[in-house]
Amino acid sequence: MKTDLSRELGRYYRLADGLIIFALFSFIGLAVMLHFSLTAGDWDYWIDWRDRRWWPLVTPISLLMLMGAFTYSVWTRFRLPVIGTTITFMLALFSLLSRHYNFVEFANFPFSFTFPSTYIGLGILLDATLLMSRSLLLATVFGAYLVGVMMYPLNWPIIAAYKVPIEYAGTLHSVSDIMGFQYIRTTTPEYVRIIEESTLRTFGGSVTPLTAVFAGFVGILVFGVFLFLGIALDKAAVFAKRLI
């Protein structure tokens, strides 16, 4: 009798654990996507807005904020270099679902115009650097730098076909520009219009490597600042636990 009761209780405990894990995963994933949407989402929603100036710069900064805030606690407590991969995987998964149901199913935009970029490789680079060096300092200097530098090259094989130059109405454009003309959005933020003023703004060119290098150095600074923030929050949590 006790054995049957224990098995039944164990089944309910496993079910409760599964529901809690699913709820936490969903909550954290939605938080990651919300943070990314508020900080770098405008440059990632549409293929014609993924320019060579601001998109490779703003995106790694947005990702490194969350990576730096959570890396210290998970690394020092569990020795698991998984924060970068986890955050980028959650962002990829929830962005894919959001783009499909919000833009494709609801707004009738083609998925080839609204598909999310890939950043999982950036998280793997950061985690691999931390795993091999076992040093938060080296992960900050080299791992965060690689995240900023490799953001554009990682996505270039995906977006290269949309940057092919074509002539349209006597003016040189890219394929993504023509798609933007055909699928009109309700509004265009003013800061995006400023980006669109430059000539051949969506092409590769000499400004892209400079942006990538600058994004790497800024990524070191951002990751370091939020790493210290994570350290402060971790110590505050330990102190509050002792008081309680």
pLDDT in tens, 9-68: 778 888 888 888 888 888 889 999 999 988 888 788 888 888 777 889 999 999 999 999
Angle between helices 55-78 and 207-243 (to 10 degrees): 30
pLDDT number for residue 143: 95
Total number of domains constituting the chain: 1
User: What gap in Å lies between CA 44 and CA 208, rounded to an integer?
Assistant: 17
Q: Which pLDDT band holds residue 184 (cuts at 50, 70, 90)?
A: confident
Q: What is the DSSP letter of 116?
A: P
pLDDT number for residue 210: 84
**Looking at per-residue confidence, does 234 or 187 come out higher?**
234
What's the rounded mean pLDDT across residues 172-177? 82
**Looking at per-residue confidence, does 219 or 178 come out higher?**
219
Q: Which domain holds residue 70?
A: 2-243
Q: Which two tokens stand for residue 164?
A: 């092919």
Whether the per-residue pLDDT at 219 is higher than 50: the answer is yes
pLDDT number for residue 200: 46
Rounded mean pLDDT of the chain? 84
Most confident region among 42-46, 138-142, 168-172 by mean pLDDT: 138-142
pLDDT number for residue 221: 96
User: What gap in Å lies between CA 124 and CA 8, rounded to an integer?
Assistant: 40
Q: Which residues of 74-106 are buried (b: 16+ CB within 10 A; e: fewer)?
A: bbeeeeebbbbbbbbbbbbbbbeebbeeebbee
Whether the per-residue pLDDT at 201 is higher than 60: the answer is no
Whether the per-residue pLDDT at 202 is higher than 50: the answer is no
Whether the per-residue pLDDT at 4 is higher than 80: the answer is no
pLDDT over 90 percentage in the chain: 44
What's the rounded mean pLDDT across residues 158-174? 84
User: What gap in Å lies between CA 11 and CA 176, rounded to an integer?
Assistant: 52
pLDDT number for residue 235: 82
CATH number of the domain where residue 74 is located: 1.20.1450.10
Which H helix or E strand runs over 165? strand 165-168
pLDDT number for residue 237: 67
pLDDT number for residue 133: 94
Those residues with Cβ within 8 angstroms of residue 134's Cβ, 6 or more apart along the chain or in another chain:
none
Most confident region among 74-88, 165-179, 202-216 by mean pLDDT: 74-88
What's the rounded mean pLDDT across residues 142-156? 94
When mean pLDDT is compared across 23-27, 68-72, 180-184, the lowest value belongs to: 180-184
User: What gap in Å lies between CA 55 and CA 196, rounded to an integer?
Assistant: 12
